[in-house]
Structure 1
Amino acid sequence: MTLVVIGPVTKDLIVIGDKQSQKIGGATYFQSFVFEEFYKDYMAIVNCADESMVNDFPDLDKVKVLLKENTHYFINRYPFEDDLDIREQSSNFAEIPILKSDLESILPEKIDGFVINPLNRYDFPAETIDYLKSFNVPVFISVQGFLRVADVEANGNFTIKLEDFDNLSDILRGANAIFLDEAEASIIGLDFDVDETVITNGSRGSRIISDDEIRIDAVKCDNVVDTTGCGDTYMAAYISQKLLLKSSENAGNFASRVASDKIGQFGPYKINR
């Protein structure tokens, strides 16, 4: 059985104060490092225009590339070095959808579940979502990308604004868990037909809503280095433990610890050995 993690790989420019760096990114990229440690039977499926972008993934044998005509590009700007919860983001808003026909020939025979990681509203057409749901295995969805729309253009990139849209309920319906942050929850609300809603809030912790609400404290990091990908790391850590242990509270506390370790190091999560 295999957990299938799907979403774009990106070229990222990270700007913290007056320092900047370029690196590979995307939710599926950050999550693959977590699954490599805690749920080794996974497959990462990414879409981009340059196959060499996956060379930084932890295990190339577990990566499938859907070659497209463009690549997602993001600028993550943190204006305050002492508060990395605040991020200004822009993107080229690449239109490179992952189609049902892209996936039909590469999915494994036996599947534990799907992790769906859109980075903008174009990435997963409704037909693709319906196709993945038809396998009747657990489905975990990151909400943020579905809300992103282009705002102000500058030099070929667009600032990002978040907006609800009419068929979001259909996209999310039946998911085992959806993942979003408090700002996104304030835009779309929490009234969705899903088993669990996991809401993160940076250094203020997270909460898990199903029949009841579970509050998860953030694990303090004394040396915050890089928060890019922290939410993706939390999501992967949560999923790995929820599938293995079935406990939402244990999964949330585990995810909080892993996310804290991640922000203390630059780039994706790597376990301290």
Structure 2
Amino acid sequence: MTLVVIGPVTSDLVIIGDEEYRKVGGATYFQSFVFEEFFNDYLAIVNCSDETMVEDFPDLGKVRVIRKEDTHFFVNRYPDRNNLDIREQLSNFANIPILPNDLENVLPDDIDGFVINPLNRYDFPIETLDYLKSFDVPIFLSVQGFLRLPDIEANGNYTIKLDDFDDLPHILSGITSIFMDEAEYRLIGGGHDVDEMVITDGSNGSRIVSNDEIRIGAVRCENVVDTTGCGDTYMAAYITQKLQSKSSKTAGKFASAIASDKIVNFGPYNSNK
């Protein structure tokens, strides 16, 4: 049985204060390091134009590439080094959808569940989501990509604005857990046909909403280095615990601790650091 993690790998420019770094990114990339450590039976499926981008993944044997004509590009700028909760983002809004026929030949025979990581509305068309739902396994979904729209053009890239999505009720119907931040929650609200909603809020912690609400405090750390991918790391850590039948409270506490471990070093989660 395998957990299948699907979503774009990205080319990122990270700007923290006056320092710049170019690196591989994307939710599936950051999550693969957590799954490698805590849920070893996983497969990462990514879409991009350059297969060499996956060379930074922790285990190349667990990565499949769907070749497309473009690659997602993001600029993540943190203007205040002392407050990495504040981020300014740009994206090229690559239109490289993952289609059912892209997945048919790369999915394993036995599947534990899916982790779906859209970075914009193009990534997972309705027919792809319906195809994945037909496997009747748990689905863990990051909402943010469906809410993102291009706003102001800047040197060929666009600032990002959030807006509701007419197809969102259909997209979320039957999903096991959906993940978002507080800004995204304010936009879509509750009342969706999902088992639970997991809402993160940076240094303010997180909360899990199902029949009731569980609040999880952030694990404090003295030296915050890099928060890019922190929410993705939290999501993956949370999923590893839920797949082991842990409670939502236990999963949230564990995810908060792993996210805290991630942000004290640059790049993805690394237990050796």
TM-score range, shorter chain: over 0.9
Secondary structure of the structure 2 residue equivalent to 1:244: coil
Provide the rounded CA distance (Å) in 2 between the counterparts of 1:25 and 1:157.
17
Q: Which residue of 1 aligns with 2:118?
A: 118
Listed as ranges, the gaps of 5+ residues in structure 1 are none
Counting only pairs closer than 5 Å after superposition, residues 132-143 of structure 1 correspond to structure 2 as 132-143=132-143
Listed as ranges, the gaps of 5+ residues in structure 2 are none
Provide the rounded CA distance (Å) in 2 between the counterparts of 1:221 and 1:230.
13
**TM-score, normalised by the number of residues in structure 1:** 0.99
Provide the rounded CA distance (Å) in 1 between the counterparts of 2:110 and 2:52.
28
Provide the rounded CA distance (Å) in 1 between the counterparts of 2:129 and 2:221.
36
Provide the rounded CA distance (Å) in 1 between the counterparts of 2:151 and 2:190.
25
Q: Which residue of 1 aligns with 2:195?
A: 195
Q: Which residue of 1 aligns with 2:156?
A: 156
Counting only pairs closer than 5 Å after superposition, residues 25-36 of structure 1 correspond to structure 2 as 25-36=25-36
Q: Which residue of 1 aligns with 2:80?
A: 80
Q: Which residue of 2 aligns with 1:45?
A: 45
Secondary structure of the structure 2 residue equivalent to 1:195: strand
Provide the rounded CA distance (Å) in 2 between the counterparts of 1:147 and 1:240.
26
Provide the rounded CA distance (Å) in 2 between the counterparts of 1:141 and 1:162.
17
Q: Which residue of 2 aligns with 1:21?
A: 21
Q: Which residue of 2 aligns with 1:63?
A: 63
Provide the rounded CA distance (Å) in 1 between the counterparts of 2:69 and 2:77.
26
Q: Which residue of 2 aligns with 1:266?
A: 266
Q: Which residue of 2 aligns with 1:180?
A: 180
Q: Which residue of 2 aligns with 1:212?
A: 212
Q: Which residue identity is paired with 1:165?
A: F
Provide the rounded CA distance (Å) in 1 between the counterparts of 2:102 and 2:121.
18
Provide the rounded CA distance (Å) in 2 between the counterparts of 1:124 and 1:167.
12
Secondary structure of the structure 1 residue equivalent to 2:194: coil
**TM-score, normalised by the number of residues in structure 2:** 0.99
Provide the rounded CA distance (Å) in 1 between the counterparts of 2:134 and 2:245.
25
Q: Which residue of 2 aligns with 1:229?
A: 229
Provide the rounded CA distance (Å) in 1 between the counterparts of 2:185 and 2:28.
22
**1:106 deviation in Å?**
1.1
State yes or no: 1:91 paired with 2:91.
yes
Q: Which residue identity is paired with 2:200?
A: T
Q: Which residue identity is paired with 2:77?
A: R
Provide the rounded CA distance (Å) in 1 between the counterparts of 2:29 and 2:242.
20
Secondary structure of the structure 2 residue equivalent to 1:76: strand
Q: Which residue of 1 aligns with 2:256?
A: 256
**1:242 deviation in Å?**
0.7
**1:245 deviation in Å?**
2.9
**1:160 deviation in Å?**
0.3
